[in-house]
Amino acid sequence: MTDGTRGGFDRESTRRSAKAGDLTLNYYEAGEPTSVGGGLPLVMLHGGGPGASSWSNFGPALPGFAEDFRTLLVDQPGFGQSDKPPVEGNYFRFAAEAVKLLLDELGIDRIHLLGNSLGGGTAMRFALLYPERVGRLVLMGPGGLSLNLFHADPTEGVKRLMEFGAAPSEAALRGFISSMVVNQDLVTDELVAERFADAMAPGSMEAMKSMGMSFWNPDSFEDGLLWRDAHKLRRPTLLTWGREDRVNPLDGAFVALKMIPKASLHVFPNCGHWAQIEAAEEFREVCTAYLARHIERSRS
């Protein structure tokens, strides 16, 4: 929505920024801690498509989650209003370290962590690096962890992403967004124009290229193969998937479901890659119920 309001929350009134080491990260915050989920804050990390940001991915979901959690929507490095530096090493690790430094700056010790696509990869890497700082983990069609057993690579959604990167245009962006959802009524002219403007903002294309190259660089690409580390993930993990996901298809969930010791899987029918938008109410209910089963215990 161009007025910056989602479900009663004004974009600018919830907007914050803080240092994360040498970077400044933008985020949006609403809600207060409750007894749900042991009182831990909920941090949400967005996907990595053109024009993506925490607000575009999770702005509509913020009011519902803020009823039960102190909720922070974080623009990852290179996206939204956050700094856009060259990526050092693999993006998942680079972004996970930035999130850790942001939490340090904000004085937040432990969180529940929810990540979509690229943000799912960052969330998993964070949980592997800092398991003591994570209560429960929710991963939505996560990048890096998804291993397609039957679908060809690259998938339709990734092909359309690459087409946009090669020749940016509103038409190419519309094709990419169309692959995100089953319900094509969600692909509005307003959404395409808004995302295209963000994708063309100064530094955004360079940041997207740097992020993408971190998964091809011979010195860092193996660090992004998170499925190889799935057996090391010890935090309770909810895998969520749209049954009709054309970016990270559903068969990509099965290795993770088998290998992560405390993994569960919820599949949303008639739903693509944007479960938080296309199955909004069910997504909130499922995630809140899962996080509510967490009981925070003293670690002294």
Spell 154-172 as b/e; 16+ CB within 10 A means b: ebbbbbbbebbbeebebeb
Q: Which residues are catalytic, by number?
A: 273
State the Cα angle at 24 between 224 and 6, rounded to 5°.
85
Q: Which residues contact 262 (CB under 8 A, 6 or more apart)?
A: 234, 235, 236, 237
19 touches 73 (CB < 8 A): no
78 touches 51 (CB < 8 A): no
Give DSSP secondary structure letters for 145-191. T---SSS-SS-HHHHHHHHHHHS--HHHHHHHHHTT-S-GGG--HHH
